[in-house]
Amino acid sequence: MSIDFFVVLACCVLGLVSHASRHQKWLEWILRAIIVLCFGGEALSALGWAATQAGKSWGLFVLVAMCMSTGLLLFLPARKCFSFVLSVLQNLASGHFFVAILRRADKLSNGLSLQVFVPESMPHVVALWIYITCVGVLLGSMDPASFKMPSLPFPIPVPLAELFMYNGLGLILLALCGVGIFVSRKPVEAIKRLGLVKPSLPQVGIGLALIFVTFTYDALWAFFTHQMGGDLASKLAGYNAGTFNAGGGLGPAVILALLTGICAGVGEETLMRGAVQPALGIVPAALLHGLLHGQFAHAPIFIIQVAGWSLLLGIVRHYTNTSTTIIGHAGFNFITAFMFAFNP
């Protein structure tokens, strides 16, 4: 089994334990001890890195930032600062702040009334710690210098079994454990917390409109990256053609497109928009969504593109539900995967 499976499994256990700690105080102290150990390991790694390498490096900078953020999580005043920053980002990204200004709210606080990340909540603390660790690891694997001269890795077809396990079951299981299924919430309550509800007819229309908007967004980005040089459009097309390869037949192409659309659409949206966004906000969820597309680690411009699109999905999720964004995400993935897979 790949290491990704064990990482997902460990995060699932941590999520369930964090919810159980609301009723068992000793579990909370175990979680705090784990965070302290993580902080200590990161600090030792940073010191060792600084001692063995001359000069500054991107990886060391990310590691130090991750270490400091992890350490600050242990203190309530710092967590309150995190909550304030994340809540401000949420109010700005959702448009709530600007709506309050237009309505001439008497107090500025009315425009900043949306709160994410409850500093006293242990499940939120664990969620932010896991988020910081994941973002740090993903950022540390990138090279900022490749923003100007990006390149894509050699296309390697992704096995269908792996695609289904990661994008489908793995992320959905992680999302369900993150909201405390069977611990803090019954299955029906957990599904509702994730925003997986029956969409209304207008919401279905919004989801379908997202497909068209996404194609337009991609076209604009393609024009932008074309101006950067390096033949990025051809490289990206070659990568996708190699990844979404079903042999050219209609039947296999449809199956691959359906698996890609359903698994990625449902899995990523359930985790990002369903679990992460309500706890940490629109912007952090969008950033993590972009960074999780590690196939573009050598071309960070495409990670920025995914994060920007994810930000749009997050705004839609804020005003509708996760089911609506699943329609847009899955629909776009289905069409694009089929276009690359079906080569008669």
pLDDT digits (tens), the chain, 344 positions: 567 778 888 999 999 999 999 999 999 999 999 999 999 999 999 998 888 876 668 888 999 999 999 999 999 999 999 999 999 999 999 988 887 777 765 555 565 678 899 999 999 999 999 999 999 998 888 877 666 545 555 444 555 555 555 566 789 999 999 999 999 999 999 999 999 999 999 999 999 999 999 999 998 888 877 776 666 767 777 777 667 776 667 788 888 888 888 888 899 999 999 999 999 999 999 999 999 887 676 677 888 899 999 999 999 999 999 999 999 999 999 998 888 877 65
Do 100 and 202 reside in the same domain of the chain? no
End-to-end CA distance of the chain: 35
Last residue of a domain, one of 126, 141, 156: 141
Do 15 and 130 reside in the same domain of the chain? yes
Residue 46 lies in a domain: yes
Do 115 and 37 reside in the same domain of the chain? yes
Separation of alpha carbons 262 and 337, rounded Å? 11
Do 226 and 338 reside in the same domain of the chain? yes
Do 277 and 133 reside in the same domain of the chain? no
The pTM of this model reads 0.91
Residue 155 lies in a domain: no
Number of domains in the chain: 2
Residue 299 lies in a domain: yes
Do 101 and 226 reside in the same domain of the chain? no
Residue 81 lies in a domain: yes
Nearby residues of 191 by Cβ (< 8 Å), 6 or more positions away: 197
Do 47 and 119 reside in the same domain of the chain? yes
Residue 312 lies in a domain: yes
Residue 173 lies in a domain: no
Do 128 and 204 reside in the same domain of the chain? no
Do 198 and 338 reside in the same domain of the chain? yes
Do 134 and 222 reside in the same domain of the chain? no
Do 94 and 233 reside in the same domain of the chain? no
Residue 251 lies in a domain: yes
Last residue of a domain, one of 141, 175, 206: 141
Residue 180 lies in a domain: no
Last residue of a domain, one of 141, 167, 184: 141
Rg (CA), the chain: 21
Question: SS3 for 73?
Answer: coil
Domain span including residue 317: 194-344
Do 5 and 125 reside in the same domain of the chain? yes
Residue with tokens 């000069």: 55
What single-letter DSSP state applies at residue 215?
Answer: H
Separation of alpha carbons 67 and 39, rounded Å? 6
Nearby residues of 81 by Cβ (< 8 Å), 6 or more positions away: none
- CA 9 from chain centre, in angstroms, equals 17
